[in-house]
Amino acid sequence: MASKQHHYESLVRMYHKELYKFAYWLSGDPTIAEDLVQETFLRAWRALDSLQDENAAKPWLLTILRRENARRFERKQFDYAEVEQDTLVDDTSSALDDAMEQTVVQRQIANLAPEYREPLLLQVVMGCSGDEIADILELNKNTVMTRLYRARNQLKDALTTEYEPIKGASN
Amino acid sequence: MDELEFRRRLVADPHDEEVKKQAEQQPELQALVEEMQAFDDFLGKSLDIDVPEGLADKIIAKQKELETEEQKVVRVSWFRRATAPFAIAASVFFAAVVFYFGGFGHPVDTGEHALAHVYYEENALQKQETVSLQTVNEKLAMFGGKFDNLPGKVVYATFCNFKGQKSLHLVMQSEFGPLTVFVVPTGQQSTIDGKDSFGDSRFEGLIAHNGKANTILVANRGTPIETFQSEVTSSLRWL
């Protein structure tokens, strides 16, 4: 029992930050993100005995979180895309140019179709490999790599078309 | 790999080892790799938002709270058993009722059982103090279920033995008076015999069959039980 508690706490400390960021970008809302992470870990606690391999902890937690997120959509059928625009945060950058670019990217990420956004978040935020993403999303690896390619290309395009005029106007 | 393949792989994963290796041998590709890696760093920074302070502690506290809650349920029931011997006598009476309905070689009718159970815990129908949805869900979580909302104020939530199956017994106050709901997980034995509605002179009830459990609703005659039943079953979720 004590070791189960210990195991659980170390999982929470190791993964809660990444999972929160992932949930945030998935849902576009800090409150929902916190709820998702909270619920994910509670379910993880109840099912902790089923986690045999420590290396599988991250994909296991991500699978629980994605299922929780899907449940949210079963309950509420409205579109979160609008919400995402309003709740974007931008507090990490000091230089104005950087801040602008980051805001553009943040908005573009919220606008990416979910099938492109999710693999990209798993790769950039969660540090998952192509194979891990394929497992978590239940896709083959080629599909994952194609989606990652398209996601980055779309973001790059958006930056050059959307950011340049902003920059031009400020000069 | 050819240049097209190289580009596809680089854009899909700027830290692809084979791509990096190839770029080392072809310096003209190196700039491209650096550009994509810089873009990736920038992406990473853009997505690196602040995590609420103390989130880990909050998560751990929540789990401990849940744990204590579950232990409390066990402690209270022992306390009751030790201090209220008449409860044992009542149980014997209840067992006798069950025996009367079920002891003659055919299974106890589920509706009769639900009614007997409601009468047995009749004082629960008078309760007024609210039990939070969260408390209900913490109990229901032991069966892997969750209510999104409930069509009334919950005043009683406890684990009960329903025809040998551990089940959740809820009482809600509605504008039509108290509603009793039994959530009975479908174990290996079939506890439900297919009859959907039942009643007596005072109560009427409905049984809904749901993948992982049966929900049995009992209310005063004249209550729109169909409406309540569908509200209850549609807000019940399973893991």
Determine, for residues B39 and A156 on separate chains, whether the beta-carbon distance falls below 8 Å: yes
Q: What's the average model confidence in pLDDT over A5-9?
A: 92
Q: Tell me: domain B84-238, CATH 3.40.50, correct?
A: no
Q: What's the average model confidence in pLDDT over B134-145?
A: 84
Q: What's the average model confidence in pLDDT over B22-37?
A: 89
Q: CATH no. for residue A125?
A: 1.10.10.10
Determine, for residues A17 and B44 on separate chains, whether the beta-carbon distance falls below 8 Å: no
Does A79 share its domain with A12? yes
Indicate the SS3 state at residue B193: coil
Q: What's the average model confidence in pLDDT over A56-77?
A: 84
Higher pLDDT, B88 or B206: B206
Higher pLDDT, B90 or A72: A72
Q: CATH no. for residue A73?
A: 1.10.1740.10
Does the pLDDT value for residue A90 go beyond 70?
A: no
What is the C-alpha R_g of chain A? 18
- The pLDDT score that the predictor gives to residue B211 is 65
Does the pLDDT value for residue B102 go beyond 60?
A: no
Does A77 share its domain with A146? no
Q: Are A66 and A136 in contact (CB under 8 A)?
A: yes
Q: Residue B106 belongs to what H/E stretch?
A: none
B150 Ramachandran zone, left/alpha/beta (phi>0; psi -120 to 50): beta
Written as six digits, the tokens of B33 are 């790799």
Q: Does A123 touch chain B (CB under 8 A)?
A: yes
- The pLDDT score that the predictor gives to residue B101 is 55
Domain of A151, in residue numbers: 91-171
- The pLDDT score that the predictor gives to residue A97 is 66
Q: What is the ipTM of this complex?
A: 0.78
- The domain boundary residue, chosen from A64, A87, A110: A87
Does A78 share its domain with A100? no
Percent of chain B with pLDDT over 70: 79
Does the pLDDT value for residue A170 go beyond 50?
A: no
Higher pLDDT, A21 or A74: A21
Higher pLDDT, B117 or A97: B117
Highest-scoring range by mean pLDDT, A59-68, B105-114, B116-125, B228-237: A59-68
Does the pLDDT value for residue A69 go beyond 50?
A: yes
Contacts of A39 (CB under 8 A, 6+ apart): A68
pLDDT, tens digit, for every residue of B156-202?
A: 888 888 877 788 889 998 888 899 999 888 754 455 555 578 888 88
Does the pLDDT value for residue A4 go beyond 70?
A: yes
Does A101 share its domain with A148? yes
In the numeric block, the tokens 């950039």 are attached to A124
- The pLDDT score that the predictor gives to residue B78 is 60
Written as six digits, the tokens of A13 are 């400390």
Does A120 share its domain with A54? no
**Separation between Cα atoms, residue A12 and residue A38, nearest integer Å:** 10
- The pLDDT score that the predictor gives to residue A57 is 92
Place A11 in a pLDDT band, splitting at 50, 70 and 90.
very high
Does A31 share its domain with A77? yes
- The pLDDT score that the predictor gives to residue A77 is 46
Which residue in B45, B50, B63 is closest to A41 by CB distance?
Answer: B63
Q: Where in chain B is the domain with CATH 3.40.1000?
A: 84-238
Does A100 share its domain with A74? no
Instruction: Tell me which chain B residue has its CA closest to the CA of residue A88.
Output: B49
Does A101 share its domain with A160? yes
- The domain boundary residue, chosen from A47, A69, A87: A87
Which of B9, B17, B33, B46 to mutate to probe the A interface, most A CBs <10 Å?
A: B46
Does the pLDDT value for residue A41 go beyond 80?
A: yes
Work out the mean pLDDT of chain B and round it to a whole number.
Answer: 81
Q: Does A149 touch chain B (CB under 8 A)?
A: yes
Q: Are B207 and B197 in contact (CB under 8 A)?
A: yes
Give the helix ranges, DSSP H, for A47-163: 57-75, 81-87, 96-111, 114-124, 130-137, 141-158
pLDDT, tens digit, for every residue of B191-237?
A: 555 557 888 888 999 888 776 788 899 999 988 888 888 888 888 88
Determine, for residues B52 and A20 on separate chains, whether the beta-carbon distance falls below 8 Å: yes
Burial B10-30 (b: 16+ CB within 10 A, else e): bbbbbebeebeebbeeeeebe
Does the pLDDT value for residue A61 go beyond 90?
A: yes
Q: What's the average model confidence in pLDDT over A115-128?
A: 94
**Separation between Cα atoms, residue A101 and residue A95, nearest integer Å:** 10
Domain count along chain A: 2
pLDDT, tens digit, for every residue of A45-58?
A: 988 988 888 888 99
Q: Does B9 touch chain A (CB under 8 A)?
A: yes
**Separation between Cα atoms, residue A131 and residue A34, nearest integer Å:** 27
- The pLDDT score that the predictor gives to residue A107 is 86
How close B87 comes to chain A (CA, Å)?
A: 33
Helix B133-140 × helix B55-83 angle, to 10°: 80
**Separation between Cα atoms, residue B227 and residue A164, nearest integer Å:** 58
Does A95 share its domain with A167? yes
